[in-house]
Amino acid sequence: MATEQENKRAPFVVEWRDGFKINIQQTDDEHRHLFHLVKALDLTTIDKTLEELLEYVVTHFSNEQALMEQSGYPAFEQHLKLHEEFSAFVGEFLGSSSEWNEDRVQELRRFLNKWLIGHIMTHDMRFGKWFGSHHGPNALPVQATQAQRGFLARLFGIR
Binding site for Fe ion (CB under 5 A): 124
- DSSP-derived secondary structure letter, 41: -
Nearer to Fe ion, 28 or 124 (CB): 124
Nearer to Fe ion, 49 or 63 (CB): 63
Do residues 42 and 49 touch, judged by C-beta distance below 8 A? yes
CB of 1 to Fe ion, least distance (A): 38
- Listed residue (82, 83, 116, 111) closest to 96, CA to CA: 111
Cα pseudo-dihedral 86, 152, 110, 141, rounded to 10: 110
Nearer to Fe ion, 104 or 119 (CB): 119
CB of 49 to Fe ion, least distance (A): 22
CB of 64 to Fe ion, least distance (A): 5
Nearer to Fe ion, 46 or 66 (CB): 66
CB of 106 to Fe ion, least distance (A): 24
Mapping DSSP onto H, E and C, the string for 62-122 reads HHHHHHHHHHCCCCHHHHHHHHHHHHHHHHHHHHCCCCCCHHHHHHHHHHHHHHHHHHHHH
CB of 117 to Fe ion, least distance (A): 12
